[in-house]
Structure 1
Amino acid sequence: MSVRLGLADTVAAISTAPGGGAIGIVRLSGTRALDIASGLFVGQRAPSAVPGGRFLFGRFTDGAGGTIDEGLVLVFRGPHSYTGEDVAELQCHGSPAVLNRLLARVLELGARAANPGEFTLRAYLNGRLDLAQAEAVLGLVNARSETARRQATLGLQGALGERVGEIGQRLTRALVAIQALLDYPEEGVPEEDREIPLARAQGDLEDLVATARAGQLASRGARLALIGRPNAGKSSLLNALLGYERSIVTPQAGTTRDYLEAQLELAGVPITLVDTAGLRETEDLIEAAGVRRAEELAQGADLVLVLEDGSSARELLPITTPPERCLWLQTKSDLPPCWHDEAYLPVSAVTGQGLGELREAVRAHLLGNAAGAEVWLTSERQADAALRALEHVRSARVLPDDLASYELELALRALAEISGRDVSEDILDGIFANFCVGK
């Protein structure tokens, strides 16, 4: 999809989720949206004849005048609509057969089938949303946790754009001061016009970049692998965290021979917990394959919970995962301990001891300092742009004035990418291709 093509067309799509439902919506947007809606709607008034913000009740008809369904038309007049264009929403019963027939009739009357994300793309191109807000729409649609929903809502309300705008104002102030100094070196530049804004901008960017990992985990979810020797308590811990028996637990070592996944929410982040086969040398081909798979899962996990049985003689695990991606747990803390290590968090799947502390430790590892931040970066694109802006600001603070001026121009350009004031067509195509049709 090219963002420059077809924006003069009227586009249409089913905007409700696939499958049956009580209500379904076919959305039209463009210069002919209300005329097309009038061509298939029979009621007391035509959609093209009423002001925006009106509901009309009547029949949706086919080309022969037969009734497709009864329903409502909601009329929006541009620029006071989601897309900034004239919009008609045809609300009918949510049967796939009804929706598909209604959409087919709309297309017969001259609308074009919308591309993925085209309604939101039009909202961006018509100035109704900046690019960060447009990405927040996708975040709301895909939100799998309360944290993801909250960040997407803040983004849609423009909070990220405002934060980026404040940083940009500081950089602009410093850039103007440097350029004035280059033009009029005898005048000098007060520190509050150059160094102070630069220092604050750098600090703000560092804080913003620090939220990137948390924002992406809140959006896509995190994978936590439970690793340990047989009978270390991995399956029991998984069941305890879930609150129900998902994994089979027996006293026999090697019960879990393949990995098992379960979903939950921890620290406001959607989590996939992965229970893996116990790590040990074995001649059993199936169990050995499970052990290899457990090691692979540990390497790919966002966080690894390393479990060691605190009630038996200690035998350290040969873990190759970087320590910063590991949490070390001493399991079976309800039994008399055979060893003690301050680096390990005691937990018991039987009594629940340490589970609250474990959840807090997971939260700290996944969210870091971002937990106290109001606004997060929620996409790799945003994080990349913010990091580049930060690197340019750092360079500007140590370079001569002429080079510093150039670095600040690059920093401002990188910041502009976040809100979409300076972004290529290829980037736009990539962003909106991730949207569903109808949004």
Structure 2
Amino acid sequence: MTLKDPICAIATPPGKGAIGVVRLSGEGALELAARAFRGRDPRRLKGGRFTLGEVVDPATGEVIDQALLLVFRAPHSYTGEDLVEFQTHGSPAVLRRVMEVLVSLGARPAGRGEFTLRAYLNGKLDLAQAEAVLALIEAEGELARRQALRALEGALSRRIAALEEKLLGLLAHIQALLDYPEEGVEPHRAEGVIREALAEVEGLLAQAKASRLAQKGARLALIGAPNAGKSSLLNALLGYERALVSPIPGTTRDYLEAPLELFGIPLIAVDTAGVRETEDPLERAGVERALRIAEEADLILYVADRSVPRPPPPPLPWERVVRVATKADLPKAWEDPAFLSVSSLTGEGMGRLKEALREALLGREGGEFLLTERQVEALLRAKERLGEALALPEDLMGLALEEALRALAALTGREVAEEVVARVFQNFCVGK
């Protein structure tokens, strides 16, 4: 087995569909496709062209299905190799037979992510872009889609390349200072360059939380006293009536979950039991569960009714809390600038609340870039090495700067261990 063998895989999801796609890539892919296709010879087609014909089993002459055949010629294909796609009807039986024929002719079934691995090895994508391919496939929210697409288009890679160029220029100057002291090389303002590089790295790291939330989603807990307006606020955020609303305190004894998407992030909003001192064992269990849910949530809405005296606040991780004063349409019994005033009935203040939620979840950076856990680790290593360089005299900074550059190179895969590459691609599906 080599990384130039012809490989094939079903590229569409399991199950029935109108169209199914089987991909074939590698040395001899066009010749192999010609033997399995009745119609115009794929070897005579220009890249980017397609033709209608039939997929056949050359051993028996059996027609398997009608198909569109698309040809992409090296190096102008996804993998950088000659690549053919058979677009058939989306029956699992049809797709299995097409695979059986291609394997019988000498192709082998592709491994997980092997098409994208070949794209990476053939210089069509760097490692950050390859990770973006997987993130784009798995994106469930609009923000994750946007982040992954920007990374696939090379936005993150270009930022890293500009940073590397800046540090390489400094490293070259330091080397000249050491190698040719008699030439009178002028001292460089190394501290300023490193501080700029550190600020760039920290700016990227500031987006790590937003990237994680965009990819994995977040939990938003609504906490407050009974009858504070939590259920009404949940319904207002959702845009439809999901939770029962009653003027009777203590209506919600257990928690209620509802999915929604805000700012492109898939959220699970959790309406919880009202938090208060109580002797009722069932209500007390609901209060304890509400506080546990708050502890585990990514963000908490602490809801207080501003039309009645404010109750004592519950024990909460306040660094993850957005404070909301509800029932702004009623006369107010108290006022606190730390609270956002909203009315679930009239919609007053809902825009400001959503903006506060956006900043609490995404930060001021806004979640522009996709960052995987591997990339965050590499950026943290680069930050640490740049910090070390900053503490050294200019003529001793070289080693720390080289280590920082290695960490940055790992982001795009120019300097990364084979097992790291293997770990990235083992998460892919077969066919991509």
Provide TM-score, normalisation by structure 2.
0.93
Unaligned runs of 5+ in 2: none
Which residue in 1 is equivalent to 2:13? 17
Distance 1:33 1:275, change over 3 A: farther
| Deviations 1:219-261 (CA, angstroms, capped at 9, x unpaired) | 2222211112222222211110111112222233333333322
Which residue in 2 is equivalent to 1:236? 232
| Deviations 1:176-215 (CA, angstroms, capped at 9, x unpaired) | 1122222334555545563443232222222222222222
- Cα separation, 1, equivalents of 2:225 and 2:426: 44
- Cα separation, 1, equivalents of 2:87 and 2:381: 45
State yes or no: 1:364 paired with 2:359: yes
Within the candidate set 380, 384, 389, 2:382 is matched to 389
Distance 1:276 1:21, change over 3 A: same
- The worse-fitting range, judged by mean Cα deviation, of 248-257 and 414-423 is 248-257
- Cα separation, 2, equivalents of 1:186 and 1:318: 70
Aligned residue for 2:269, secondary structure, equals: strand
Give the letter for the 2:3 counterpart: L
Identity level (%): 56
State yes or no: 1:176 paired with 2:176: no
- The worse-fitting range, judged by mean Cα deviation, of 339-348 and 211-220 is 211-220
Shift of residue 402, structure 1, vs aligned partner: 5.1
State yes or no: 1:276 paired with 2:272: yes
Distance 1:7 1:285, change over 3 A: farther
Q: Indicate conservation of the 8 Å contact 1:262/1:274, yes or no.
A: yes
Provide the aligned length of Structure 1 versus Structure 2: 431
Which residue in 2 is equivalent to 1:336? 331
Q: Indicate conservation of the 8 Å contact 2:64/2:98, yes or no.
A: yes
State yes or no: 1:151 paired with 2:147: yes
Shift of residue 6, structure 1, vs aligned partner: 4.3
Distance 1:105 1:193, change over 3 A: farther
1:96-115 to 2 correspondences below 5 Å: 96-115=92-111
Which residue in 2 is equivalent to 1:226? 222
Aligned residue for 1:12, secondary structure, equals: strand
Q: Indicate conservation of the 8 Å contact 2:173/2:188, yes or no.
A: no
Q: Indicate conservation of the 8 Å contact 2:75/2:81, yes or no.
A: yes
Give the letter for the 1:387 counterpart: L
Q: Indicate conservation of the 8 Å contact 1:174/1:195, yes or no.
A: no
Distance 1:266 1:191, change over 3 A: farther
Give the letter for the 2:329 counterpart: D
Unaligned runs of 5+ in 1: none
State yes or no: 1:208 paired with 2:201: no
- Cα separation, 1, equivalents of 2:183 and 2:301: 60
Which residue in 2 is equivalent to 1:353? 348
CA RMSD of aligned residues (A): 2.2
Which residue in 2 is equivalent to 1:404? 397
Give the letter for the 1:342 counterpart: P
Give the letter for the 1:19 counterpart: G
Shift of residue 420, structure 1, vs aligned partner: 0.6
Q: Indicate conservation of the 8 Å contact 1:131/1:418, yes or no.
A: yes
Give the letter for the 1:291 counterpart: V
- Cα separation, 1, equivalents of 2:263 and 2:52: 46
- Cα separation, 2, equivalents of 1:15 and 1:355: 44
Which residue in 2 is equivalent to 1:85? 81
- Cα separation, 1, equivalents of 2:216 and 2:227: 31
Give the letter for the 2:127 counterpart: L
Shift of residue 276, structure 1, vs aligned partner: 2.1
Give the letter for the 1:134 counterpart: A
Aligned residue for 1:370, secondary structure, equals: coil
1:47-62 to 2 correspondences below 5 Å: 47-62=42-57
Which residue in 1 is equivalent to 2:428? 435
Give the letter for the 1:65 counterpart: G
Provide TM-score, normalisation by structure 1.
0.91
Q: Indicate conservation of the 8 Å contact 2:151/2:370, yes or no.
A: no
- Cα separation, 2, equivalents of 1:113 and 1:289: 54
